[in-house]
Amino acid sequence: MSQISFADLFSGCGGLSLGLSLAGFSGRFAIERDPMAFGTFSANFLDDPAGPSAFSWPEWLERKAWGIEELLERHKADLLALRGKIDVLAGGPPCQGFSFAGRRQEEDPRNMLFEKYVEVVKALKPKLLVLENVPGMKVIHHRRNVVELVPSPEAPRRQSFFDRLVESLDEAGYAVEGDLVDASRFGVPQRRVRLIAIGVRKDLLRWAPGGPRRAFELLELAGPAQLAELGLPATVSSAAAISDLEVEGAKLVACEDAESPRGFQEASYRAPRTAYQLLMHANAPSGMNSMRLARHRGDVQERFRRIISECRQGVRMDDASRKTYGLKKHRIYPMAAGEPAPTITTLPDDILHYSEPRILTVRECARLQSFPDWFRFTGKFTTGGDRRTRECPRYTQVGNAVPPYLARALGIALKGLLAEIAEQRSKFLGARGGQPIAAIA
């Protein structure tokens, strides 16, 4: 079977690319506008790639942070030259780019991302599409901040983000379906439900009568198979994922990360204790990346200590609890050691460690997203204020990423779908043997 090629749009730090690479796919190029996120992508896939993650980058595309608009403006002809040579186009526009919530500004350049994405799809004409987004992509948003899950029959026709995506890609020649998928079913130690959309080029539907729905059937099969292959239980708990990174019992050393100011510490890197940790440790360097511990004041540590000992773990703190502990922040989860973590977000202070009075490190968040320990993160650790809308530091990179183990399972499902298409086409043409995937026009 020929190696399956893919390109990654809006790649972020590379979670989706990593998972597809782990599934045996070959990366061609990736597009990411933010310099910090692309710096992390470049460090792992271009500068010094580890394992299967190397990309066959085209000579015409400069290795830098690109916006999709700039890509189309400067390299439309190069994209057209790749038509039919990319098997899978991964990634898709963030929902902010075509948001109807609030007062939508038609001239906002972010609203062009949706149209530009479809333009790239039309140029490349890949066999399959795979996108990941938040479940809210299926919610209908009105301009006055009114949200309907099911609009009234009398209301004018309105579209959710997902409806608009399906309609536009249908016009571009793709059958698309979406489903909600929980990453914890694929070895990710985190409750993370996301909308996965899969598209099949319409000319291939004659060989794939199940269309994109067949890919979701194969994904259902890929989950248990992946867990068995990796030697993981049905669900991986928070403690099973990060107990070897606890401060208690560890030697504290100075954080030597080039992006960190002096005065921070990190826990020494210790031997794995669980099957999941053993997977994460594989091929990791002795000097770990992104282990910096937060510096909490004494009163903050005492407050956190009370919360993790007195509050229900694994659930979001309610208003009464937040008032009791003097917390203004609305989203705070004390983790439960024996359960998968809550959804990892872009903010470092959303989740408290299950047994230690502190927030999680970038590396712990990455572990809970299923990034292996050899994966290096670059750029600032955090940012604040209005810079949050312009910068993508390490915590944000991790929180925005597609969990690699979820992406790996998606890759296995897509590989299976392409194999079935090739087999059906071969049978139809009367070939005596199986035809390689790359031979599908």
- pLDDT band at residue 151 using 50, 70 and 90 as cut-offs: very low
The token pair that represents 62 in the structure block? 């400069």
> Quick one: 338 and 292 in the same domain?
yes
Q: Is the pLDDT of residue 106 over 50?
A: no
C-alpha angle 198-170-94 in degrees, rounded to nearest 5: 55
> What predicted TM-score, i.e. pTM, was given to this entire model?
0.91
What is the domain count for the chain? 2
Looking at per-residue pLDDT, the higher value among 117 and 95 belongs to: 117
Mean pLDDT across the chain, nearest whole number?
Answer: 88
> Quick one: 171 and 276 in the same domain?
no
What is the predicted pLDDT for the residue at 415? 98
Q: Residue 433: inside a domain, yes or no? A: no
Percentage above 70 pLDDT, the chain:
88
> Quick one: 29 and 131 in the same domain?
yes
Q: Is the pLDDT of residue 148 over 50?
A: no
Q: Is the pLDDT of residue 144 over 70?
A: no
Q: What is the end-to-end Cα distance of the chain in Å, rounded? A: 15
Q: DSSP states of 127-150 as a string?
A: SEEEEEE-GGGGSEE-TTS-EESS
> Quick one: 199 and 250 in the same domain?
no
CATH code for position 378: 3.90.120
Using alpha carbons, select from 272, 265, 273, 258 the residue that is nearest to residue 291. 265
- pLDDT band at residue 93 using 50, 70 and 90 as cut-offs: confident
Buried b (16+ CB within 10 A) or exposed e, 326-343: eeeeeebbbbbbebbbbb
> Quick one: 206 and 259 in the same domain?
no
Q: Which residues are catalytic?
A: 95
Which residues constitute the domain of residue 265?
240-400
Q: Which long-range contacts (CB under 8 A, 24 or more apart) does 331-338 make?
A: 332/307, 334/307, 334/308, 335/238, 336/237, 336/238, 337/237, 337/238, 337/239, 337/243, 337/313, 338/237, 338/238, 338/239
List Cβ neighbours of 241 (8 Å cut-off, separation of 6 or more). Answer: 189, 274, 276, 277, 280, 341, 367, 368
Looking at per-residue pLDDT, the higher value among 315 and 95 belongs to: 315
Residues 30-53: tens digit of each pLDDT: 999 999 999 999 999 999 776 677
Instruction: Work out the average pLDDT over 413-440.
Output: 78
Task: Confirm if 355 and 305 have CB atoms less than 8 A apart.
Answer: no
What is the predicted pLDDT for the residue at 95? 61
- pLDDT band at residue 211 using 50, 70 and 90 as cut-offs: very high
Q: Is the pLDDT of residue 104 over 50?
A: no
Q: Is the pLDDT of residue 108 over 50?
A: no
- pLDDT band at residue 159 using 50, 70 and 90 as cut-offs: confident
Q: Residue 388: inside a domain, yes or no? A: yes
> Quick one: 247 and 330 in the same domain?
yes
- pLDDT band at residue 54 using 50, 70 and 90 as cut-offs: confident
Using alpha carbons, select from 108, 53, 367 the residue that is nearest to residue 238. 367
Q: Is the dihedral angle over the CA atoms 344, 348, 351, 354 positive or is it negative? A: positive
Task: Confirm if 397 and 377 have CB atoms less than 8 A apart.
Answer: yes
Range of lowest pLDDT (82-86, 106-110, 160-164, 221-225) = 106-110
Q: Is the dihedral angle over the CA atoms 21, 23, 24, 25 positive or is it negative? A: negative
Give kind and range of the element (H or E) at residue 408. helix 404-428
Q: Please report how many Cα atoms fall inside a 13 Å half-sphere around the Cα of residue 335, on the Cβ side.
A: 33
What is the predicted pLDDT for the residue at 197? 96
Look at strands 88-90 and 26-31 and give their pairing.
unpaired
Q: Is the pLDDT of residue 100 over 90?
A: no
> Quick one: 417 and 366 in the same domain?
no
| Three-state SS letters, 89-108 | EECCCCHHHHCCCCCCCCCC
> Quick one: 151 and 213 in the same domain?
yes
Residues 270-291: tens digit of each pLDDT: 999 999 999 999 999 887 899 9
